[in-house]
Amino acid sequence: MDFENDFISLTDIAKYKSDDANATICNWMRTRETIEFLGLWERLHNTDFKPLEFEGFRGEAGLHAFTMSPTKWIQGVNAIGIVSKAGRYGGTYAHSDIALEFASWISAEFKLYIIKDYKRIKKDENSKLSLNWNLNREIAKINYRIHTDAIKDNLIPPELTPEQISFKYASEADLLNVALFGMTAKQWRDSNKDKKGNMRDFASLNQLLVPACS
């Protein structure tokens, strides 16, 4: 774990809600939803997590007499997602996944901002992916035209008939297709009769970039 970059102070977040940051953190940790969330996080990231001890906590979570603290949680299940530091600059720190969950509990407004920001990021990612794919496909189309022009200028004798020229184009193009996609254009069409367009419409970015860089 990269403590400096991945961990956030729960103590600092709690101060926005209460003057007693430690009590706020403990109140959050005693709920069943929080215990289940923390347990799931540890299962996913901690090979030394103690599941039996966790089940004991989960069984008591939410009861009036149940109490929980960062130290109790860390020592009880051998947790790594939450860190408790003593001293003048100490406090409770948690992995960013957990810290965001805590911040969402602190503030409904903050939780909404997280959801909106997540949607914005995913929309930006999809837009960039679509833009990159279309851009690289256009580059590949231009480069493909360069290849066909090169075939016309250098590989096709002037005495060939139109039918022979068409066959020559197809043969050279399929050499590129086999090298790039592992099959000819006809083989792709026969195997994908339910798809509209050609094999380049369904190519990956890497496949599109190969003819563009060749």
Q: Kindly report the backbone phi and psi dihedral angles of residue 80, in degrees, each rounded to the nearest multiple of 5, phi listed first.
A: -120, -10
The identity of residue 122, as a single letter, is: K
pLDDT tens readout for residues 147-203:
555 555 554 555 545 554 454 545 556 666 655 566 777 777 787 877 776 666 666
Residue 18 contacts residue 24 (beta carbons within 8 Å):
yes
Treating both helix axes as pointing N-terminal to C-terminal, what angle do 32-45 and 96-106 enclose, rounded to 10 degrees? 170
Structure tokens of 214?
A: 């060749």
Report DSSP state, residue 208: H
Grouping H, G, I as helix, E, B as strand and the rest as coil, residue 199 is: helix
Q: Kindly report the backbone phi and psi dihedral angles of residue 107, in degrees, each rounded to the nearest multiple of 5, phi listed first.
A: -145, 120
In percent, how much of the chain has pLDDT > 70? 58
Give the residues across from 93 on adjacent strands: 9, 83
Structure tokens of 94?
A: 């948690």
Average pLDDT for 114-119: 73
Q: pTM above 0.95? A: no
Which value, in Å, is the radius of gyration of the alpha carbons in the chain? Answer: 30
